[in-house]
Amino acid sequence: MASEDEKSRWQYLNEEAKAGRLYLDPSVATSCRDASNKQIDLFNQLKNDLQSVATVSGLGRFPAADELAKMLGMKAVGGERDFNTAFQEHIDVLTLIRDTIEISVNKYQDQQVAQAQALTSQGANLPNGGQ
């Protein structure tokens, strides 16, 4: 399961990115963003697949069979420390990672554009247009 420390760490980094204090190289960040999206898709598919095993049957006709079937189904969905919740926690952290990367790249690109515009403006103010 995704730890609260991991989620807190990425929430902090997300705020740093929003504040413009976290910059990632766009080429590296793009790969990380794509990998995050791939994992999010995988965990969503796994969550969907869990629905098919949430109802367990075929364990026979003995007194504990129904209770065992219920217990196994609850491990997939709805029970304490179930897989469905674990997958959702991972999805939440991966979404935070992806969003943090996206914010960082956007801030980096905005900074690059601002610097280019500033240089263009400085050149225009020089004699002969900076040529």
Stretch 58-85: mean pLDDT: 89
Whole-structure pTM value: 0.75
Say if residue 129's pLDDT is above 60.
no
What tens digit of pLDDT does each residue of 76-122 get?
999 999 999 999 999 999 999 999 999 988 887 777 888 888 888 87
Distances (CA, A) of 9 to 2, 6, 21, 29: 12, 5, 15, 18
Taking Cα atoms as reference points, which of 95, 100, 75 lies closest to residue 2? 95
Q: Which residue has the tokens 């991972």?
A: 90
The Cα 22–Cα 108 span in angstroms is: 9
What tens digit of pLDDT does each residue of 10-50 get?
999 999 989 988 888 888 888 999 999 999 999 999 999 99
Say if residue 56's pLDDT is above 70.
yes
